[in-house]
């Protein structure tokens, strides 16, 4: 029986999951017994946010495509409530894919607590903050927000040491000096690339690392494989879950 799997969105989560499936089912995928497709809304996989360079995005795109995964690029997938397992290749398009299983990985949705603060969030629902984590909509300056819920361009853990340190200092200053407190800005990757590694099954992956003055260097597959892909940090995660 032929199985059709569809990934809606070609960001990190779906690319990494597709890479794992490729490793496990390479022959079935290449022979067409298992069909895996990714629908993504830009010309290459990974978000077109400016955080990831073209080489990284092209390497991931080519790797998955050359190994038998069908890519529908520059395409927005759309579904109807009446047939949720049918994904149309574009809004209003008559072309579609009927999938047995669909993975939706189309980005995060901020979960902001119920509140009555006007203009708290931007159009996408993220809390608007200054670089010092102060919430823009609160004039008193005594509300701060951090993490994926903010409208920072970069969401992730790479800068967490700087962020936690800056937030702590700013909250203390704010408590002591009120609105006049002089606050420190966080390093929030407002421009440039983010250090990243995309794992594509245990033996493959691609990465990038931005270096001051030298620009962004691309990390070869064997290094990403050794550092991340092989065990996906499971050795570091396990103790967190063990009782």
Ligand X SMILES: Cc1cc2nc3c(=O)[nH]c(=O)nc-3n(C[C@H](O)[C@H](O)[C@H](O)COP(=O)(O)OP(=O)(O)OC[C@H]3O[C@@H](n4cnc5c(N)ncnc54)[C@H](O)[C@@H]3O)c2cc1C
**Contact positions toward ligand X, by CB under 6 A?**
13, 111, 113, 147-149, 155-158
Residue 218: other Cβ atoms inside 10 A: 13
Residue with smallest beta-carbon separation from ligand X = 147
In this complex, which beta carbon is closest to ligand X, that of residue 75 or of residue 229?
229
First to last CA, the chain: 42
Classify residue 11 by burial, with Cβ atoms within 10 Å: 0-12, 13-18, 19+. buried
Shortest Cβ 194–ligand X spacing (Å): 8
Give 226's DSSP letter: I
In this complex, which beta carbon is closest to ligand X, that of residue 125 or of residue 147?
147
Shortest Cβ 13–ligand X spacing (Å): 5
Q: Give me the phi and psi of 8, to 5 degrees please.
A: -95, 110
Shortest Cβ 164–ligand X spacing (Å): 11
In this complex, which beta carbon is closest to ligand X, that of residue 86 or of residue 230?
230
In this complex, which beta carbon is closest to ligand X, that of residue 40 or of residue 228?
228
CB contact at 8 A, 87 and 6 = yes
Shortest Cβ 77–ligand X spacing (Å): 20
Q: Which residue has the tokens 């409208």?
A: 151
């Amino acid at each position: 029986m032929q199985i059709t799997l569809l990934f809606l969105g070609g960001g990190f989560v779906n690319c990494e999951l597709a890479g794992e499936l490729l490793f496990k089912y390479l022959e079935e995928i290449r022979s067409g017994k298992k069909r895996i497709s990714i629908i993504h809304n830009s010309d290459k996989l990974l978000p077109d946010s400016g955080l990831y360079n073209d080489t990284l995005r092209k390497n991931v795109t080519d790797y998955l495509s050359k190994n038998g995964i069908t890519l529908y690029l520059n395409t927005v997938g759309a579904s109807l409530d009446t047939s949720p397992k049918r994904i149309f290749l574009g809004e209003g398009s008559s072309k579609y894919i009927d999938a047995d299983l669909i993975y939706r990985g189309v980005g995060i949705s901020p979960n902001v607590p119920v509140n009555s603060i006007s203009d708290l969030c931007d159009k996408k629902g993220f809390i608007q903050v200054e670089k010092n984590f102060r919430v823009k909509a609160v004039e008193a300056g005594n509300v701060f927000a951090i993490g994926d819920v903010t409208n920072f361009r970069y969401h992730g853990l790479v800068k967490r040491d700087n962020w936690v340190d800056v937030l702590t200092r700013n909250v203390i200053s704010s408590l002591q000096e009120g609105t006049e407190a002089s606050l420190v800005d966080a390093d929030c990757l407002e421009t440039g690339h983010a250090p990243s590694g995309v794992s594509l099954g245990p033996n493959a992956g691609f990465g990038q690392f931005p270096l001051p003055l030298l620009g962004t260097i691309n990390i070869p597959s064997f290094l990403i494989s050794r550092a991340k892909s092989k065990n996906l940090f499971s050795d570091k995660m396990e103790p967190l879950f063990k009782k």
